[in-house]
Structure 1
Amino acid sequence: MCAELYDDVNTSTTICASVSSPDSADEEALVPRIRLDTDGPVVTVRLDHPPLNAFDTVLRDELAARVRDLADEPRVRAVVLYGGERLFAAGADVRALAAMDVEEVRGWNRALQRTFDEVARLPMPVVAAITGYALGGGLELALAADHRIAADDALLGQPEVLLGIIPGSGGTQRLTRLIGPSRAKNLLMTGRRVDAAEALRLGLVDEVVPAAEVHTAALRYAHRLAEGPAAALEAIKEAVDHGTDTAMSTGLALERALFTGVFATKDARTGLQSFLDQGPGKARFENPGQGAP
C-alpha cells in the first residue's frame, strides 16, 4: 500500500507498507479498520489502518457501515473523527488507484464520495481531531466534519494535482465553501501542503493545540456540544449545510420551518423556562442515554 507525502510542489515521498501475499491480504481484510471508543454520549471513530490510514475499499466500506450505525443511535450526541497519535489519514491507496481502469475508478470514487457525504449528514455534531498528515482523501474526510481541531505540527493539503488528477471526494466543493474560491484554487492547483498555523489563518481548521492534546481537545469540545439541545443542534446543521446551497429566500424558508419544529421540542420548553427562572446559560437539556453500548 502506498500514499504520497508531498514536501512541496516539486517533490514527494512515497511511503509504502509491505506488499501482502493473497492469503495474508484476505486475513488482513478481516481485521477491523475502524474502532469505536465510547465516552458517555460522545463516540470517537478511530481509523485504525496502519501505517497511513490510507483509504482502500475495506476501510471505505467499514467507515460507511459504522457511520450508518451512528446515524441511527439516539444515545450518541457527538462524534469525533480521529486517526491516532501519528496521523489523521494520508489519502488514498495510490497503488490500488493506479491499477484501476476508468470504470473501476468511477465506481470506487462514487462509493468513497457517498461515504464522506454520510459523515457530513450525520445528525449530531462531528469534530475532526487532526494529527500529523491530513492529505487528499484524509483532508476530504476532515472537511466533512463540522469542526476541525489540528495539532500544531499537522500538515494538510489536497495534493491530487501532483498526480495529474483532482480531488474526487469533496475536496473541490467542501474546501471552496469553507475557505473561498481563490484560496481553494491556490491549494488545489499547486497541491501544496499548509501547516497548522496557515490552516488556522485560512479557516481550514478552527483550533490548533499541542499534538499530544488533539484528541483530548476534540473530546472536550464534543462533550460541550453533546450537553446541548440535540434537536436544535441538528436543525442548525441542516439550516447551515443546506441553506447555503440555495437562494436566500429558500434558505430562510428552511430556517423558518426548522425554527418552528424545534420550538415544539421539550428542550425548547426547558431552555425558555430556565432563562425566565435563572437567566441565560443555566438550562440542562435532556440526554436520552449515556452513549452507544
Structure 2
Amino acid sequence: MAGLLRQCLRHTPKALPRSLALGYWHKHVLHVPSQAACAGAGRNLSGPGRLDKGVVRGHSIMPSQPAVDEGWDALLGSFSNLLGEVDEAGVATLTLNRPKQLNALNSELMGELVAACQYLDRKHPSARVIIVTGSGSKAFAAGADIKEMSSVTYSEAYNKGLLDGWETLRTIRKPIIAAVNGFALGGGCELAMLADIIIAADSASFGQPEINLGVLPGMGGTQRLTRAVGKSRAMELVLTGDRLSAAEAVSLGLASRAVPAAELMETTQKLARRIAAASLPVAAKAKECVNQAYEMTLAEGVRFEKREFWSCFALADQKEGMAAFIEKRTPVFGDS
C-alpha cells in the first residue's frame, strides 16, 4: 500500500501540495493497483479548473459543494423553528430560529433540534461536528417557553415527561459545540451545557433564573452547573437567579473561551473544522471518555479510558495516524 501511494505521488501535479495529494490518492485511487490508474487520476486532477474549484477539509481534497442528502433536505423542510446546513468540511450548523421570542425553547423546537442532531449523528453522509447557535444577536436561547408551560399541571408534567426530550442529546456521538450569542438563561444555559464545548460571545450571559418563576431548573441545570463551576457558586446562581458574564463563565470553566461577538461564528467554525479533520470513531471515543469523568469514580474512569484506548488498536486510523507520525506526513483518516 505504501509503495503504491509513493507511485501515485510521482504522478501528482506539482501545483498540488503533498499533504492534499495524500488525501486524494488514499480516498480515490489507492484501491487501483496500477500505475496507469494513478497517472490517469493525476491528469484528472490537473485538468482545467480542477484545483481552483476544490476546497480543503482538514487534510483531504473535498468537492466545493457538500454531498446532497435528500433525507436531510426533507427533514429541514419540515422544521418551523430550526435552520440547518452542512458545509464541505462536514461542519453542521443548527440555528435556533425564534428571534421574536429570543429563541425560547418550546416543545416543537426541542423536537426539531433533537431530530436534527440524531439525523446528523447517525444518517448524514458527511456531517462530522455539530454547532448549535441562536438567530439574532440578542439571545442564544432565553429559556424555556414560559407561555407554553404556565398552565401545565403536576400530573401532566409527570405523565408526559416534561422536558425529558432534551436528555436525548446526551446520546449524540459526534462533537457538539454551542456558539452562545447573547442570553443563555434557564433552559438556554442548560442547552449550552448539554454541548461538549461552549464558545461564548463577549456579550453572552449565563444563568438559571427559574427560582424567580417559582420553579427550579428542569433540564439538568442543578447538576451540570454544579459540576462545571462548583457547589458554592452554583448554589448562589440557582438560589438568586443571578447571571454570569462571558468572562466569568470562562474563568469558572463553564465556557471554553470568550471572543468578540462579531467573531463568534468564525471562531467556532474554525474550531469545528479542526475537530472534523480527526478520525470520526476516535473523536467519538474521546468524547465518551471525557463525559464519563462526570459519571464514574477516578478508578472506574481510568479503567474505562484504558479499554477505549486499547480498542483504538483495532482501527485502521490508528495504523494510519502512527505511520504518518513516523513518516512525518499528514495522516489520512478513513474513519475505520
Q: Name the CA distance, whole Å, in 2 between partners of 1:216 and 1:90.
A: 23
Contact 1:227–1:287, Cα closer than 8 Å, also in 2 = no
**Compared with structure 1, are the counterparts of its residues 195 and 171 closer, same or farther at alpha carbon in structure 2 (3 Å cutoff)?**
same
- 2:92: which partner in 1? 43
Q: Is the 8 A contact 1:67 1:118 kept in 2?
A: no
Q: Report the TM-score when normalising by structure 2.
A: 0.72
Give runs of aligned pairs for residues 154-193 of structure 1, distance below 5 A: 154-193=204-243
Determine the C-alpha separation between the residues in 1 that align with 2:302 and 2:237: 32
Amino acid at match of 1:238: E
> SS in structure 2 opposite 1:88?
strand
Contact 2:317 2:335 in 1 (8 A): no
Kindly indicate whether the alpha-carbon contact (under 8 Å) linking 2:99 and 2:136 is maintained by their aligned counterparts in 1: no
Alpha-carbon distance in structure 2 between the residues aligned to 1:112 and 1:178: 21
What TM-score, normalized by structure 1, do the two folds share?
0.82
CA contact (8 A) 1:113 1:170 kept: no
Alignment of 1:5-84 (within 5 A): 32-40=80-88, 41-51=90-100, 52-73=102-123, 75-84=126-135
Question: CA separation in 2, counterparts of 1:92 and 1:176?
Answer: 20
Tell me which amino acid in the other structure corresponds to 1:70. L
Q: How far apart in 1 are the matches of 2:194 and 2:294?
A: 15
Describe how 1:1-293 pairs up with structure 2 within 5 A: 32-40=80-88, 41-51=90-100, 52-73=102-123, 75-86=126-137, 87-107=139-159, 110=161, 112-115=163-166, 117-278=167-328, 282-286=330-334
Higher Cα Rg, which structure: 2
1:193 CA drift (Å): 1.0
Percent pairwise identity? 37
Offset at 1:247? 2.4
1:191-235 per-position Cα deviation (integer Å, ceiling 9, x unaligned): 101111111111111111111111111111111100012122111
Shift of 1:31: 5.7
Of residues 246-255 and 40-49 in structure 1, the stretch that sits farther from structure 2 once superposed is 246-255
User: Counterpart amino acid of 1:283?
Assistant: P
Structure 2, gaps ≥5 residues long: 1-77
Cα RMSD for the two superposed structures: 1.8
Distance apart, 1:50 and its partner CA? 2.6
Stretches of structure 1 that go unaligned for 5 or more consecutive residues are 1-29, 289-293
State how far apart, in whole Å, the 2-side matches of 1:88 and 1:244 are. 25
C-alpha distance after superposition, 1:104-141 (max 9, x if no partner): 22355x353432x2223311111100001110001111
Paired letter, 2:210? E
Q: How far apart are residue 238 of structure 1 and its match?
A: 1.0
Report if aligned partners of 2:104, 2:144 keep a CA contact under 8 Å in 1.
Answer: yes
Query: Aligned in 2, Cα 1:265/1:287: closer, same or farther, shift over 3 Å?
Result: closer
Q: CA deviation at 1:160?
A: 0.6
CA contact (8 A) 2:110 2:165 kept: no
Paired with 2:304 and 2:260, the residues of 1 have a C-alpha distance of 39
User: Is the Cα–Cα contact under 8 Å of residues 98 and 135 in structure 2 kept in the other structure?
Assistant: no
1:100 Cα deviation after fit: 0.8
Matched residue count: 255
Q: Distance in 2 between matches of 1:219 and 1:79?
A: 10
Look up the SS of the partner of 1:156 in the other structure: strand
Aligned residue in 1 for 2:16: none
